[in-house]
Structures are given as structure tokens and as C-alpha cells.
Amino acid sequence: MIRRHVLVSGRVQGVGYRYLARKHAERLGIAGWVRNLPDGRVEAEIEGEADTVAIMLHRLEAGPPGSRVTGLELAELPLADPREEPDERGSRFRIRR
């Protein structure tokens, strides 16, 4: 299992980006969250098996129709503490406001 923090730049707001990210995450079994930032970027945390995280990153880079991703900034994160509340550790993938 690995966990990544992702910042996505480009035309990624107002194009269904977060909803497509959730759809892909649910299909892949990825845990975490996604949200819009005030500066126009999208932020996400994703956790899962290394191969499925790689697929998810590829799909985040592609984005939905109408988007134009110009960059992904990635950072490694420690795995979530299993003692934390399920919503806090991302037992599922959700859209944050």
C-alpha cells in the first residue's frame, strides 16, 4: 500500500474533474479524497496498492473531456493510521468541499 498527495494544475475546475476522479477511485478500490482549491487547482490524497495508484495517477493526468491538465505535483505520504476514524483515514473516496 502507498499513499500520495496530488496537486493538479490546469483547466480542472468546472469540468466534472472531481466527480470523474471519484468514479475512477471507486472502480479501482482507491481510498482518499479530492477537492477544489481557491487558486484553481484540484487537490487529492489517494491510497491503495502501488499498481492501482499508478493507474489512478494516469487517469488524474488525463482528466475528463473538457479539462486540460498542465501538471501533477506528487508527494509521498505515510499510510493512514488504521486507528483513526474511517472518514478521516479515507476508508472510501469522497469529494471534499
Q: Which positions are catalytic? A: 18, 36
Could you give the CA distance from residue 43 to residue 18 in angstroms, rounded to a whole number? 9
Contact yes or no for 67/10 (Cβ under 8 A): yes
| Per-residue cell: 50 | 502501488
Torsion over CA: 80, 77, 16, 49 (sign): negative
